[in-house]
Amino acid sequence: MLQTLPRRAVVALLALSVFFPLGLVIYQSVLSGPFFMPAAALSLESYAFIVDDPDFWQAARNTIAVAVGMGVIAIPLGAILAFIMVRTDLPGRKWLEMPIMIPIFVSPVVLGFGYVVSLGPVGFFSVWFAEIFGSVPWNIYSLTSIIIIAGLTHVPHVYLYSSSALRNLGSDVEEAARLTGASPFRVARDVSIPMVSPALLYVGVLVFFLGFEIFGLPLILGDPEGHLVLTTYLYKLTNKLGTPSYHLMAAVATCIIAVTFPLVLLQRALLKTAQRFVAMKGKSARQRPLALGPWKWLALALILAWLFVTVVVPVAGIALRSVVSSWGQGVNLLEVLTLDHFHGKR
């Protein structure tokens, strides 16, 4: 009894802190003005407004494209990355563990700025690339770029889940496959990855969920050409009518919740299924790394290429920008080097 009382109190508090703001958002979405103003009345005009707004539908389509695209890119790459890191004798595995997680720690807004400075129309890399090859084949402000970058920066999320699932599995089945002549690629495809598929499914839902709520990247990269997603559309609504439109924003937020809340439930259901299906739990005694043979250099090159695009390019852009007073077309970077930004001068 003494034990259940505090537990119940915690559950009640938690429920209150989650459902109260959620309820307030939904309540606000069916009002005609800010909830704290006496003039606000019950009304569905906010939904009528957004359903009538072509921007909302564009944002909804783009959001689905981003969420699906992120999954398509991040899930296979993350799974392969986990297999290589956990199961094989890849050279330099210990050294790679940290850099792989960087995209999780760097704010998407910072990454977005980094990409503009590096790969934008007059970015550092773009200018160098154009000097060598004549022109730049990519457009950092396109929806495709946003999807690719979002996908690549979410590889670590998938890696995190699938690698821990892999670590919990014994390696005897893989060794058997390898002994009978299967290539490391075949082992990954037909043995290891299917064995962690419940974890992959689980993280797949998570990635889709994150794709629905992605904000920083499309805010910065989608702005110049007007590619909206639901969250940036929400942001745009703050100013569209001149005064902040609480009811419209709440209506969009309710639409987002309507999609993400079932996803949370789906994840919970998946977790239960996953626990039912994985036969061997706990740390397996025998885990011997698979010999990659000559494939190891290809594997290493792939990981380094991914790290280059997702971490080195944007972070180098930000770092370079921090030590120059100006940049871009026709600027000799050596002439504009400065440390002023670190001295609090503008």
In the complex with another protein, the residue whose CB is nearer, 177 or 214, is 214
Using CA atoms, how far residue 92 sits from 283, 292, 297, in Å, is 24, 13, 11
Of 122 and 160, nearer to another protein (C-beta) is 122
Asked if 342 interacts with another protein (CB under 8 A), we say no
- Torsion 208-317-117-110 (CA) sign: positive
For residue 120, the minimal CB distance to another protein (Å) is 6
- Smallest gap from residue 253 Cβ to another protein (A): 15
Q: Which of 93, 167, 236, 296 binds another protein (CB under 8 A)?
A: 236
Choice between 2 and 131, CB closer to another protein: 131
Residue nearer to another protein on the CB measure, 240 or 296: 240
At its nearest, how many Å lie between another protein and the CB of residue 117? Answer: 8
- Please report how close the Cβ of residue 224 comes to another protein at its closest, in angstroms: 5
User: Can residue 346 be called a binding residue for another protein (CB under 8 A)?
Assistant: yes
Distance between CA 91 and CA 22 in Å, rounded?
Answer: 49
Stretch that binds another protein, among 3-11, 233-241, 288-296, 302-310 (CB under 8 A): 233-241
Whole-angstrom distance, CA of residue 153 vs CA of residue 217:
10
The 35-54 contact track toward another protein, x by CB under 8 A, reads: -xx----------------x
Scanning 29-37, 204-212, 273-281, 282-290 for contacts with another protein by CB under 8 A, the matching segment is 29-37
244 binds another protein (CB under 8 A): yes
Measure the CA–CA gap between 80 and 74, rounded to whole angstroms.
10
Residue 285 is given by DSSP the state S
**How many residues form the binding site for another protein (CB under 8 A)?**
29
Shortest spacing between CB 244 and another protein, in angstroms: 5
Report the site for another protein in 176-195 (rule: CB under 8 A). Answer: none
User: Would you call 10 exposed, middle or buried from its count of C-beta atoms within 10 A (0-12, 13-18, 19+)?
Assistant: exposed
Q: 274-311 burial, b for 16+ CB within 10 Å, e for fewer?
A: beeebeeeeeeeebeebebeebbeebbeebeebbebbb
Q: What backbone phi and psi angles, to 5 degrees, belong to 324?
A: -125, 150
Cβ partners under 8 Å of residue 70, min gap 6: 147, 150, 151, 154, 207, 208, 210, 211, 214
The four Cα atoms 190, 69, 122, 136 give a dihedral, to 10 degrees, of 60
**Residue number, 97 or 225, with CB nearest to another protein:** 225
List the interface residues with another protein, window 74-133 (CB under 8 A). Answer: 120-122
Least distance to another protein, CB of residue 341, Å: 10
| Packing angle, helices 295-307 and 54-87, rounded to 10 | 140
| Closer by beta carbon to another protein, 190 or else 225 | 225
Q: Assess 34 for contact with another protein (CB under 8 A).
A: yes
Nearest residue (CB) to another protein, 43 versus 239: 239
Q: Which is nearer to another protein, 237 or 303 (CB)?
A: 237
Q: What are the residue ranges of helices labelled H in 30-142?
A: 45-52, 54-87, 93-105, 108-119, 124-133
The site string for another protein over 320-339 (x = CB under 8 A, - otherwise) reads: -----xxxxxxx--------
Q: Kindly state whether residue 294 participates in binding another protein, applying the rule CB under 8 A.
A: no
CA distance 233 to 235: 5
- Which residues of this protein are in contact with another protein, per CB under 8 A? 34, 36-37, 54, 120-122, 223-226, 235-236, 238-244, 325-331, 340, 346
